[in-house]
Chain A
Amino acid sequence: MAFLLRRLCFYLAAFVAAATINFFLPRLMPGDPVQIMFSSAGAELPPESLQALKLTFGFVDGPLWQQYLTYLGSIFSGDLGRSIKYFPLPVTTVLGNALVWTVGLMGTATLVSFALGTFLGILAAWRRGSLFDVIVSVGAIFATSVPAVVTSLIVVFTFGFTLGWFPTGYAADPALDPAFSLTYFGSVIYHGLLPMLTLCAVLTGGFAVTMRNNMINLLGEDYIVMARAKGLSDTRVMLWYAARNALLPTVSSLAIAIGTVLGGSLVTEVVFNYPGLGNILYQAILARDYPVIQGQLLIMTATMLVANFVVDISYVLLDPRLKRA
């Protein structure tokens, strides 16, 4: 419990740090921060909404600490300001709609590649030195050294544009109305499959290598030798004795991997024209929509922190030693 509480405080501090960066960045730029944030977008804002925007970003009259507190206050009350490009939509609405798609895409891809990678890693370690191991190891190196943007572009070019097997944009057929119908769900899956598989191709290798190495280190342990000596079946030793313990460090590395997934997902969405956070962000960058870009950092940080916390909880559940700590 104390462990989780400590982590929670740490995550809160990390979030405030991200917010602090957001607060100081526009103020560090040469010139008037308000000018930079709201004028470079080239959008015409009515004066009263400009006033409201200034308030959200802490541009109030007063000393810096007062501006800072105003800013933190508005963030913690869930106000990230309004988008300049999609004015007058609040940033939270713009990002909230997109977050659903990103989390869906990212979540599925992470789960699939985690399961697949772990499984491949277990088998590779069990038959280490074999052809299968070489293929998995070398394949993992290749998959992990190619940038997500490159993998995405090649996949979308091959299967989307050249072969025409999959759509090259949108999360569902734009002609369909969002509804809880089989056609709509089918369309969502059809549109999401290619970006999801791309993310899996990017991620699986890393999980496989981690699992393989954890396994190999464990296979020399006495309790594995003991289990074999008892005459237990290979599958039982592999899965219940070795893999179970090797999984623990993998779960903790999953927490750090989430940041990678977020980054990869951003780029993949841009390439696939998928309406998630990545695409919104891309549009925001093109339009220099600073409130959206900044809101993105906060939402992504929050997502990452929540995911990390979930991993912490599962770690406590998996490792009984931590419960006592």
Chain B
Amino acid sequence: MKTSSFPLIHNRKAMVGALIVAFILLVAIAAPLLTTYDPSARVGRPHQAPSLDHWLGTTRIGQDVFARLIYGARTSLAVGFGAGLLITAVGTALGIIAGYRGGKVDEVISFFTNMVLVVPNLPLLLVLAAFIGQASPWVIALILGGTSWAWGARVTRAETLSVKQKDYVKSAEMMGEPRWRIMTFEIFPNLISIVGINFIGSVIFAIITQATLEFLGLGDPKVVSWGTMLYGAQKASALSVGAWWDILTPCFALAFLGIGLSLLNFAVDEIANPRLRTGNRLGRWSALIRSGEGRL
């Protein structure tokens, strides 16, 4: 099989990815144990370089960057997984319904899917967020869920079309199982790999997009997250005054998490049902990348 040309690398990738994500998750959960500083309070002099007191220095208004980093991980992860779940749920449901029902239902869903795909995502999000004002992380998660499901729906629909030709689906139909049952118990379990990949891709996308929206000043600046850290650092001209710790900390955190999640995506593909595999291992994942899912 051509996919196993270097299986060791694949497994290593999955392992490293899982470790990275687990590490960030752990740090986020244990945040109060790791620092005594309040992430929003002024606890030091402005723009101090990293020291023993402030491991990653302080921001322009004297907040502890390390405290903001580990508390911010909570927000970024929560929004990422929340929005990722929402995006995947909507995309999967619409994809399966369109693919299985076919006909008019399919036409309507596919039309809307293609329409959403062709309207550029970020400008649309910007307009929505601008009218909402200082959007809280949960509002951002909600509008992400509402606008970013299209690629998942398209991919799921395509897979559903091939699964519904399978004998076990036909026999379930013969036995007179209701449609919702066929869709939930015959088709959905066989799409689990594509749903998993869609989910992780959406989590990456949501984390990045939330950070981007907040960086552009559309988030609530009082919230502690990696996006508002970027926003605060940019607004304080951290780069031109040489306060690299202020801006590079959230940068590397986001890059680290993004890489970890992408590597994890391979793990899902490994566990996935090999019979559903149409291309090689990277195939569907790269399709997700190309669509802009998982990245801005």
Contact = CB atoms under 8 A, between A and B. Distances in A.
Interface string A217-249: 100100000000000000000000000000000
Contact of A267 (B5, B6, B212): B212
- Chain B facing A: main interface SS: helix
A63 B160 CA distance: 44
Contacts of B244: 157
Q: How large is the interface on B (under 10, 10 to 19, 20 to 34, 35 or more residues)?
A: 35 or more
Contacts of A14: 115, 118-119
Contacts of A133: 5
B109 interface: no
A2 interface: no
B292 interface: yes
Contact of A142 (B122, B217, B259, B280): B259
Interface string B98-110: 0000000000000
A262 B120 contact: yes
A145 B295 contact: yes
A292 to B, nearest CB: 10
B65 to A, nearest CB: 15
B274 interface: no
B182 interface: no
B22 to A, nearest CB: 17
Given A206-B295, A210-B287, A288-B130, 8 more contacts: A25-B128, A144-B295, A147-B211, A161-B240, A202-B295, A256-B117, A260-B291, A263-B122
Interface of B: 2, 5-6, 9, 13, 114-115, 117-124, 126-128, 130-131, 204, 208, 211-212, 215-218, 230, 234, 239-240, 242, 244, 247-248, 251-252, 254-255, 258-259, 261-263, 279-280, 282-283, 286-287, 289-292, 294-296
Interface of A: 10-11, 13-14, 17-18, 21-22, 25-26, 28-29, 36, 128-129, 133-134, 137-138, 141-142, 144-150, 153-154, 156-157, 160-161, 168, 202, 205-206, 209-210, 212-213, 216-217, 220, 253, 256-257, 259-260, 262-264, 266-267, 270-271, 281-282, 285-286, 288, 290, 293-294, 296-297, 300-301, 304-305, 308
